[in-house]
Structure 1
Amino acid sequence: CLDHQVVAVADAGADPRHHVAVDAVGGRPARSSLCVPVAKSGQVRVVLQAMNKLAEPDFDVENDARVLRVLGRVSMEVLQVCEASSTQSAFAKRKEVLLQLFTDFVPVQTPVQLVQVVQHGLRELFHAKSATLHTVQNRDAPPEQQYTSLIQVDQAHRQPGVGGMRRRSTIIQTVNSDGLSGIVGQVVQSMNTYSCASSKLGESPFDHKVDLEVPENTIMHTVPMMDSGGCCAVCQFTCPERQRTIVGDDGSFRPDNMQHMRLLSTMLKFVAKHLSILEFDPLKALQAQMAGLDRGGPEVTQRSEPSSLESSSSESSDGSDGESGAGPAGEGERGAGGEASDGEVESRQDSK
Structure 2
Amino acid sequence: MTQGEPPPRSTRSRPTMREVAALAGVAIKTVSRVVNGVPTVDPAIVARVREAADKLGYRPNLTASSLRRGDGRTATIGMLVEDAANPFSAALTRTVENVARQRGVLVLVGSLDEDPARERELARALIDRRVDGLVIVPAGRDQSYLISEQHSGTCMVFVDREAGLLDADAVVSDNRQGAVTAVNHLLTTGHRRIAYLGDRATIPTAAQRFDGYRHALEVAHIEYDDEIARHTGSSEEAAIAATEQLLALPNPPTALFTSQNLVTIGAVRALRALGRQHTVAHVGFDDFPLADILSPGITVLAQDVEQMGQTAAEMLFRRLDGDESSARTVTVPTRLIERGSGEIPAGGLGHD
TM-score interval for Structure 1 and Structure 2 normalised by the shorter chain: under 0.3
Select the structure that is richer in helix.
2
The answer to which structure, 1 or 2, has the higher relative contact order (CA under 8 A, 6+ apart) is 1
Taking structure 2 as the reference length, what is the TM-score of the superposition?
A: 0.24
Bigger proportion of residues as strand: 1
